[in-house]
Amino acid sequence: MNRRAERAGRDLQDRLDQLERVAAIGEHRLPDDLVADAGSVVERARTRLGRGADRTVVALAGATGSGKSSVFNALVGEDLAPVGVRRPTTSTARAAVFDAADALEAGTADLLDWLQVPQRHVVGSRDLDGLVLLDLPDHDSVARAHREEVDRLVEVVDAFAWVVDPQKYADAALHDQYLRRFAGHAAVTIVVLNQIDLVPEGERRGVADHLGRLLEEDGLRKVRVVPTSTLTQEGVDVLRRELAARAAERRAVVARLGADIDVLVERLDAAVPDREPGPVGDRGRRSLADAFAEAAGADAVADAVGAAHRRRAAQHVGWPPTRWVGRLRPDPLRRLGLDRVRPDRTTETVPRTSRPAPSVVADARLGRALREAAEDAGAGLPEPWQRRLAGVAVERRDDVADALDRQVGATELPVAPARWWSVVSGLQWILAGLMAIGLLWLIVIGVVAWFRLPDLPTPELGEVPYPTAMAIGGAVLGLLVSAIARALASVGARRRAAAARRTLTRAVAQTADQLVADPLDEELEAMAELTRTVRRL
């Protein structure tokens, strides 16, 4: 095999590898018949290449009465094939193996076993060495088994020699069922215009030209048309030289298999888009995150965080005599089951929450976001791919509620006490103590006066007795500090609610990515790889 043929062989192997990859990635992304055909082409090509390219298998095929078997006998030099005029005489394919050593090698026998051609004849020949010529049954035979034999072998032979006669070369069955079907195989096709002796010499050129135009209409351009006559032996030597050249080149195997891939690539090109699909964009991910946050009740949880902050602040920095009133109100986070300690990295169990189910509006928005994510990702792609992306987007819809609950339950919310609470709480207790001492002092003074005992010495702050100043001052200052602390707690509650909303949105965005965006990206990358691979074919 020359270097050009070796390079073509390597290129074919590379294309087969890529086509095998297309068949693997194309599962569920390409039409089933196209995936099956791709797998069949790869399997058939590797099987044929595994039997070597030193032998070129050429099939003589034609209609009843075209003289196909006569051409076969003329090339072989013996009457191996029975010849009939009005009815098909070839029922099964027979092979003539041309070998310079006049021997049937094991590799050739294995090749014919794979072709399922039991009738074999070895012809000692140097000029046709390497050629395996098959005489096929008639493609228009009345016997169904004959037609099936032709259909089977034309799928696996290396080259075609279609034998036609001047009367029926325009036969629709031949052109519709075979020539147009193998229009992409012009490089491995020869057309033999047999029985040319039946045409007057002055009209032969016109008949051959008309046949050539019909072949071009079939898509078979630059196909060699060889006029022959087995009666006068006209053109038989030309046909022998043509077949000898193809056998000597050792390129027919690669050319045939390459043409099979080319035909399949035309169908693949129509099934993939003009552009490579890209990943889900940032806008799509944000839209999904917002919809998931709404479904997770992020606003309700954030409001609960703010309310819980105000309630706990009142218990820490409120006026001590009235703090017990705040304990009568339920903890908003406890109502949602979010008052428990969040799990750390070593904790596998995630506490479940008691959040209410998403509202109808939130559920509808989630569904719309899933559809829009698939639509945006599939914009400009073939309709089957758009449907597949839509299926991927909603594939785990049933897992969303549970995943969101787990994500919310595992999210660390900003619920820790503020540092300033302890300082203000200490100040409040001092003021409450000051008020209590003042009240106790006033009570003692009142008791002494009631029993008409000598008055106790009572220092004064200006004109106000100390116990009165302590009682009133402690109460007024305590209430004032409580009001200021409540205002500060409200500001902190709003900030914590906003922080909780951001934290939850980021957290559920991970769930949205895990359940929707990442699967879409994986599918889009597979589609992009499929598109790239088809383009390389």
Contacting residues for 157 by C-beta, under 8 A, at least 6 apart: 57, 58, 59, 115, 134, 256
Across the chain, mean pLDDT equals: 87
Say what the pTM is: 0.77
189-193 and 131-135 strand pairing: unpaired
Residue 278 identity (one-letter amino acid): G
Surface-to-core class of residue 233, CB atoms within 10 Å of its CB (0-12 exposed, 13-18 middle, 19+ buried): exposed
Contacting residues for 285 by C-beta, under 8 A, at least 6 apart: 509, 512, 513, 517
Beta-carbon neighbour count of residue 303 at 10 Å?
16
Enter the tokens of residue 125. 């020949």
Angstrom CA distances, 381 to 52, 466, 533, stand at 41, 87, 16
- 13 vs 82, residue with greater confidence: 13
- Report the distance separating Cα 9 and Cα 222, nearest Å: 23
Model confidence at 109: pLDDT above 50: yes
Model confidence at 370: pLDDT above 70: yes
pLDDT (mean) for 160-188: 91
Q: Specify the pLDDT at position 354.
A: 59
Main-chain dihedrals φ then ψ at residue 365, nearest 5 degrees: -65, -35
Region label for 222, one of left (φ > 0), alpha (ψ between -120 and 50) or beta (otherwise): left
Model confidence at 126: pLDDT above 70: yes
Pick from 95, 126, 90, 91: nearest CA to 108: 95
Model confidence at 352: pLDDT above 70: no
Q: Specify the pLDDT at position 320.
A: 84
Model confidence at 345: pLDDT above 50: no
For 200-246, how does the pLDDT look when each residue is reduced to its tens digit (9 = 90+)?
999 999 999 999 999 999 999 889 999 999 999 999 999 999 999 99
Enter the tokens of residue 232. 């006068």
For 521-535, how does the pLDDT look when each residue is reduced to its tens digit (9 = 90+)?
999 999 999 999 999
Region label for 391, one of left (φ > 0), alpha (ψ between -120 and 50) or beta (otherwise): alpha
pLDDT (mean) for 112-131: 92
- Are 394 and 370 contacting, i.e. CB atoms less than 8 angstroms apart? yes
For the beta sheet containing 119-124, the strands, ordered from the edge strand earlier in sequence to the opposite edge, are 119-124, 94-99, 131-135, 56-62, 159-164, 189-193, 224-227
Q: Specify the pLDDT at position 78.
A: 84
pLDDT (mean) for 416-436: 87
Enter the tokens of residue 494. 């709003």
Model confidence at 85: pLDDT above 60: no
Q: Which of 208-222, 371-385, 393-407 has the lowest mean pLDDT?
A: 393-407
- Are 414 and 503 contacting, i.e. CB atoms less than 8 angstroms apart? yes
- Are 288 and 512 contacting, i.e. CB atoms less than 8 angstroms apart? yes
Q: Specify the pLDDT at position 238.
A: 95
pLDDT (mean) for 495-518: 89
What count of residues does the chain have?
A: 537
Model confidence at 116: pLDDT above 90: yes
For 268-325, how does the pLDDT look when each residue is reduced to its tens digit (9 = 90+)?
999 999 888 889 888 888 899 999 888 888 888 888 888 888 888 888 888 888 777 7
Q: Quick one: DSSP state of residue 320?
A: G
Model confidence at 403: pLDDT above 50: yes
- Provide the CB-side half-sphere exposure for 21 (13 A, CA): 18
Model confidence at 195: pLDDT above 90: yes
DSSP per residue, 104-119: --HHHHHHHHHHT--E
- Provide the CB-side half-sphere exposure for 424 (13 A, CA): 25
pLDDT (mean) for 176-195: 93
Helix axes 252-271, 236-249, angle to 10 degrees: 80
Would you call 79 helix, strand, or coil by DSSP? coil
Place 86 in a pLDDT band, splitting at 50, 70 and 90: very low
pLDDT (mean) for 497-516: 89
